[in-house]
Amino acid sequence: MFLSYPDIIILAGGLGTRLSEALPGVPKPMAPVNGRPFLEYLLKPLCDGGFRKVILSTGYLGEQIESYFGNRFRNLDLVYSVEKEQLGTGGAVNMAFRKVETPHFMVMNGDTIFRINHDFLFQKHVENLADVTLALRKVKDVSRYGTVQLTQDHRITAFREKSEASGAGLINGGINMISSRYFSALSLPEKFSLENDLFMPQVSKARYYGQDFDNYFLDIGIPEDYLRAQTEFHEFDNR
């Protein structure tokens, strides 16, 4: 067991243009699922897993998130990193990183649920002396997500964009473990995409690993999948 669980950054500031038609005026992490905000389904497993601090990277309508959750959710300390303008996923992480106090940190998408064992991902990340470790999910059609190429020893060799891939394969499930030392040494712009502008060009230069999981996965970014959540999340309500 490790001495310090990593701080967690949850990306909760996206505009959510596809989902906004079904939920106007509501940020995606606050989308109601069975009477609870989607974000609550992300935070609860972190409480149960022993994590202590979550940095919520907010932007569009972020005041709704802070008003609802405040500075505490059960045993989790919640702090906020507020974007005044859209910085992209990478820019949002870079801004929130100023509040990270641990040797490693985890980045999670605020509109995706992936019920992995976070502690196992962290252990593998440390054991591999990795700069970045991604939680990967095998799906039947990668065209909506792009895909990740992996060696037998779990080294990531390449990322392929959405337009370049189709059929079954491994995708980035939206949970990324990152070394603070590695991240702080990078020269990063103010606005950039975490995957396209950092992961893709860095994968051949740094120690990038992936761990594949077959756990429940759902991205509520489109209305059809948001509707699925209303039924499928019942199994999580009593956990």
pLDDT (tens digit per residue) in 107-154:
999 999 999 999 999 999 999 999 999 999 998 888 778 789 999 999
Q: Looking at the predicted structure, is the pLDDT value of residue 236 above 90? A: no
| Token output for 144 | 């909506």
The predicted pLDDT at position 2 comes to 47
Per the structure, the count of domains in the chain is 1
CB distance 31 to 40 below 8 Å: no
- Min mean pLDDT across 9-23, 38-52, 165-179 is at 9-23
CA dist., res. 45 & res. 154, Å (int): 25
77 within some domain: yes
Half-sphere exposure of residue 53, counting CA atoms within 13 Å on the CB side?
Answer: 16
CA dist., res. 136 & res. 170, Å (int): 6
157 within some domain: no
199 within some domain: no
CA 156 to centroid of chain Cα atoms: 18
53 within some domain: yes
Residue with the bigger pLDDT between 141 and 214: it is: 214
What is the CATH classification number for the domain harbouring 131? 3.90.550.10
The predicted pLDDT at position 238 comes to 60
CA dist., res. 209 & res. 202, Å (int): 12
Give the structural domain span for 212.
7-136+173-191+207-236
Q: In what order do the strands lie in the sheet with 169-179?
A: 72-73, 76-82, 53-58, 7-12, 104-109, 169-179, 132-139, 208-213
103 within some domain: yes
CB distance 58 to 14 below 8 Å: no
What pTM does this model have? 0.93
pLDDT in tens, 173-207: 999 999 999 999 999 999 999 999 999 999 999 99
CB distance 6 to 102 below 8 Å: yes
109 Cβ contact partners less than 8 Å away, ≥ 6 residues apart: 10, 11, 174, 175, 219
| Mean pLDDT (the chain, rounded) | 90
The predicted pLDDT at position 176 comes to 97
140 Cβ contact partners less than 8 Å away, ≥ 6 residues apart: 167, 168
164 within some domain: no
218, amino acid identity: L
Which spans in 59-179 are helix H?
62-69, 88-96, 118-127
14 within some domain: yes
142 within some domain: no
Helix (H, G, I), strand (E, B) or coil at 191: coil
CA 38 to centroid of chain Cα atoms: 13
CA dist., res. 65 & res. 26, Å (int): 10
